Amino acid sequence: MAKPKTSKPSTKTLGELRSAATTTYTNYVKSLTPRTKLIDTFLAFLVTLGALQFVYVLLIGNFPFNAFLGGFISCVGQFVLTVNLRLQYNEQNFSLFKSTPERSFGDFIFASLILHFIVYHFIN
């Protein structure tokens, strides 16, 4: 039949998009090690909590602004640090970094401690 050839370009694009997404997702799941899985779960938690705080500040108002900043920044900061950790733990990136994964995990703990120390002071 000639009809499938004349199918709408938009449907075609959508189908391609869907297949691209599926491929990406499968690849992502395949590439998951237990460590990266754990990291991603943690990241998802941080994003959810940050979004919740943002909605809260929009609804309730920003009166204790330092408290909002403290809570929000602790999420964002922890997110950034964890993403860094994930980058350094990716086997494909080992050649990019001079440090060993163990060293980067130590850095991560140290940086997180400093972050939370500052956040608690700031939140007052």
Partner 1 sequence: MFITRLVALLSLVFLAVAERSLVVYDSVKIDLAEPPIELKRVVETFKSLGHEILLRGYQDSDLLMFVSGYAIFDNIVFLPTSSKKINRKEQLNKQNLVDIAKTANLVFVGDSNYNYPDVIREFLNEAGIYPSPKGYKLIDHFEASDKVKLTKDNIGCARILSTIDTEYDGQSAILSNNENLVPILTASKTSFSSNDNINPVDNENSWGFGQQSHLAVSLQALSGTRITWVGSIELLKQELLLWAIGQRNALKLQFVQHHKADEPQNLDSTLYRIKDQVVYTIGVSELVDGQWKPFVVENDEETLQLSFKMLDPYQRLNLQPLGEASSVEGSKVLDTYVYSVNFTIPDQHGMFTFELDYKRPGLTYLLEKQVVAIRHLANDEYKRSWDITNAWFYVVSAVLVVIAWFFFVVNFLYVSKVDVGKKDQ
The torsion region of residue 61 among left (phi > 0), alpha (psi -120 to 50) and beta comes to left
Percent of residues in the chain assigned helix, strand, coil, to nearest 5: 85, 0, 15
E strand or H helix that includes residue 87: helix 65-89
Separation of first and last alpha carbons in the chain? 72
Residue 88 is a binding residue for partner 1 (CB under 8 A): no
Pair 71, 123: CB distance under 8 Å:
yes
In angstroms, give the least distance from the CB of 7 to partner 1: 46
Two structure tokens written together for 114: 């400093």
In angstroms, give the least distance from the CB of 10 to partner 1: 42
- Residues 12, 18, 103, 116: which binds partner 1 (CB under 8 A)? 116
Where in 18-57 is the site for partner 1 (CB under 8 A)? Answer: 33-35, 38-39, 42, 45-46, 49, 52-53, 56
In angstroms, give the least distance from the CB of 78 to partner 1: 6
**What is the distance, to the nearest Å, from the Cα of residue 5 to the centroid of all Cα atoms in its chain?**
41
Q: Report the 10 Å Cβ neighbour count for 108.
A: 18
Instruction: Find the part of the chain contacting partner 1 (CB under 8 A) among 3-11, 16-24, 66-74, 92-100.
Output: 66-74
User: Rule CB under 8 A: which residues touch partner 1?
Assistant: 33-35, 38-39, 42, 45-46, 49, 52-53, 56, 60-61, 63-64, 66-68, 70-72, 74-75, 78, 82, 105, 109, 112, 116, 119-120, 123-124
